Amino acid sequence: MLASNTPRRRFANLAMVCLATVALPAAPAWAQKTKTKHPAPIAAASSSFTVDIPTIDAVDSNVDEATLRDIFSGKIVDHAAALADLTAASITIPEITLSGSTLLDGVQTEGTIVFSDIVLSNVVDGVAEKITLGGATTDSHGSTASFDAMSASTFDIGGVLGLYGLVDAGGQSDFKTIYTDLAFAGGSIDTPDVQCTIGSASVAEFKARPLKHSFADVMAITSAMDQNQDPDPKLLGDFMRMYVDMLTAFETSPVQFGGFDCAGVDDQDNPVTFSVAGLEMGGMTPGFYPSFTIDGLDIGVEGDGHVSFGNAMIKGMDLSGPIAAIEAAPEAIDEAWLTANGRALIPAFEGFSFSDVAVDMPDPDAPAERIVGGIGSFDLTLGSYRHGIPTAIDMNATHITADIPADTQDEQLAQFLALGLKSIDVGFAVDALWNEAEDQIDIRDISVTGADLATLKLAGTISNVTETVFGLDLDAAIAAAAKIAIADLKLDILDQGLSDLIIAQVATEQGTDPATLRTVYAGLAQGSIVSILADAADAQKLGAAINSFTSGKAKSLIIDMTAKAAEGLSLEDFYAAETDPASLIDKVTIDATAK
């Protein structure tokens, strides 16, 4: 049922609501009680709108009622100067009704939006001490919505008009407050297929500076881009510079939103619930797109599946690099420029994270089975970007859990079942950083952990990693990468029960005692190591450590390998070891400790 309407029909309904919502600020040519035909942007044959304002009560206003009626009917551009200088003790509009219709593929869609109790209080030189909207309702094609009160303080009407170049901003280039204390009380949406309750929202402050492109320029460039799938270089350059201008023109406080709670049915009439406890968008600053956080995401389909997240965050994005590249670009941006500067246009994305994930749903590859599990936490943090490449990576996950189906066909999962495990609980970490001062990559942690099984951790240093590796010259980067070498590696193995399970399983299969089997395996492991390393000075120490670990006397085994040559082990060294593994022995120093 949620997908029962055709996509084009649903788009017409959505377009009806969207067009109605933006009608007052964005359509200066619309006049009260006047229907004007406009070509719809996508496939609509025609559309028309009517604005009805029964009464306006203006107290001590320096703008007459007829002009105010024109302004609130949409003729903002025509009266921008008067609106920017508006002074009034109060302006009260009990109701504004916007009615419209669209004709798409021979289907007429009609809708109405009603704004109630609009009040501007103590307006002085275009700045309202407070502006309130008592509420709004919409009705379109069997779907309704109701929005509760909205208000804002120190609303600078002239500042908004100056932002888009509709009035002279007087040479202003710095940021000024457009409004403070924006508050939205919430609302609800009701359609034949879904019903939603919407929570409250708030923003402490919004600041802006005048755009370098006028409202007319923005509309003209945007319209030209919409009509050209392959825009010419000059138009593309104008569009990208306009976009950059907008990315650096706004500054906000964090946005708080109380979430929503929806219930409906899917295309097979199964009851569906979808809810979010809360959302927050971080403060926007020039050239930086803020983080976006969702708390308490919950999706459920009755009799089918359920997915929930305790928290999910899309981290911030630094756009200063791409902005600088576009600002330095030629007036006409062609394909050759885009190809040459593609890496420079990659923003510095800081990563994402989520936690407390729970999943219970059918396996898409085996409908008779279910995927049941969760993730305690996951975090990806990226930083220190160099030409679009993050040179600092920190990724970790904890408690990735899953039940193992009793009849699994997966070979690795079947091995876990054979060891007596009915579920898995694993985690991993990757933490590496390019050390520019030393021309090396510090591998601080690459590890995998299985709860009550084992932990394997690798750390080390990759040397001769110069800045050229991250450079824009691809041939030079490939040549530099070929000179990368391994200076040292450290492997740390912690046995937390895995060897006991393996030895017990093998002992059962062979009909022998686990303790006896451990002793045999420990001796074989020690002998093999000593034989491989031959006369190497560290052979006996390494063999003894592995014997102690394999026998179960020690639960931790640490192996350190350091290249003897200052330049480290090169790719050529490893290529040679493919045919002669012993060739590496004389090139490294190995130390081992068992605890």
Residue 19: both structure tokens together = 């067009």
Q: Say what the pLDDT of residue 585 is.
A: 79
Contact (CB, 8 A) for 564 and 587: yes
Q: Compute the average pLDDT of residues 363-368.
A: 75
Q: Which residue has the higher pLDDT, 51 or 109?
A: 51
Alpha-carbon distance of 448 to 452, in angstroms, equals 12
Domain closes at, from 154, 169, 184: 169
**Tens of pLDDT along 267-309?**
888 899 999 999 999 999 999 999 999 999 999 988 788 999 9
Per the model's pLDDT, the better-predicted residue between 173 and 117 turns out to be: 117
Residue 399 lies in a domain: no
The pLDDT assigned to 413 comes to 75
Residue 14: predicted pLDDT: 32
Mind listing the pLDDT tens digit for each residue in 453-474?
Answer: 999 999 999 999 999 999 988 8
pLDDT for residue 320 is more than 90: yes
Among residues 169, 190, 225, which one ends one of the domains?
Answer: 169
Characterize 340-353 residue by residue with b for buried, 16 or more Cβ atoms within 10 angstroms of its Cβ, and e for exposed: ebebbbebbbbbbb
Main-chain dihedrals φ then ψ at residue 412, nearest 5 degrees: -70, -45
Q: With 70 as the cut, is the pLDDT of residue 23 above it?
A: no
Q: Tell me, what's the pLDDT at 325?
A: 94
pLDDT(83) > 80? yes
Mean pLDDT of the chain: 86
For the stretch 235-257, pLDDT in tens is 999 999 999 999 999 999 999 99
Higher pLDDT, 231 or 121: 121
Classify residue 402 by burial, with Cβ atoms within 10 Å: 0-12, 13-18, 19+.
middle
Res. 485: pLDDT tops 60: yes
What range does the domain containing 567 cover? 404-594
Query: What pLDDT sits at residue 527?
Result: 81
pLDDT of residue 134: 97
Lowest mean pLDDT across 57-61, 337-341, 440-444? 337-341
Any domain includes 261? no
Q: Which long-range contacts (CB under 8 A, 24 or more apart) does 295-304 make?
A: 295/259, 296/259, 298/273, 298/274, 299/272, 299/273, 299/274, 300/272, 300/273, 300/274, 301/266, 301/270, 301/271, 301/272, 302/270, 302/271, 302/272, 303/270, 304/270, 304/361, 304/362
| Mean pLDDT of the 28-54 span | 54
pLDDT in tens, 572-586: 888 887 787 777 878
Mean pLDDT of 70-96: 93
* Host H or E run for residue 253: none
**Rounded average pLDDT over 566-571:** 89
32-43 mean pLDDT: 38
Residues, the chain, total? Answer: 595
pLDDT tier at 53 (50, 70, 90 boundaries)? very high
- pLDDT recorded at residue 537: 60
What proportions of the chain, in percent to the nearest 5, are helix, strand and coil?
30, 45, 30
Higher pLDDT, 403 or 349: 349
Between residues 511 and 428, the one the model is more confident about: 428
Give the single-character DSSP code of 344. Answer: G
Model pLDDT for residues 168-208, shown as the tens digit of each residue:
887 788 999 999 999 999 999 999 889 999 999 999 999 99
* Token reading at 75: 């003729």
CB atoms within 10 A of CB 526: 21
- 8 Å CB contact between 440 and 447: no
Domain final residue, candidates 169, 199, 233:
169
- Is residue 304 in a domain? no
**Are the beta carbons of 301 and 280 closer than 8 angstroms?**
no
Helical H runs in 119-182? 157-163
565 is a domain residue: yes
Residue 427 lies in a domain: yes
Per-residue pLDDT tens digits for 509-525: 888 888 888 888 888 87
- The yes-or-no verdict on residue 13 having pLDDT over 60 is no
The total number of structural domains in the chain stands at: 2
Q: Specify the pairing of strand 260-265 against strand 485-495.
A: unpaired
**What is the rounded distance in angstroms from the CA atom of residue 354 to the CA atom of residue 371?**
19
Q: Is 395 inside any structural domain? A: no
Percentage of the residues of the chain whose pLDDT score is greater than 70: 91
User: Is residue 188 in some structural domain?
Assistant: no
Segment 116-132 shows an average pLDDT of 96
| 6 pLDDT above the threshold of 60 | no
Name the phi and psi angles at 26, rounded to 5. Answer: -110, -5
Q: How confident is the model at residue 535 (pLDDT cuts 50, 70, 90)?
A: low
End-to-end Cα spacing for the chain: 63
Q: Would you tell me how many other CB atoms lie within 10 Å of the CB of residue 493?
A: 18
Residue 129 has pLDDT above 60, yes or no: yes
**What pLDDT does residue 120 have?**
96
DSSP-derived secondary structure for 282-333: PPPBTTEEPPEEEEEEEEEETTTEEEEEEEEEE--EE-HHHHHHHHTS-SS-
Confidence class for position 347, pLDDT limits 50, 70, 90 = very high
Residue 572 belongs to a domain: yes
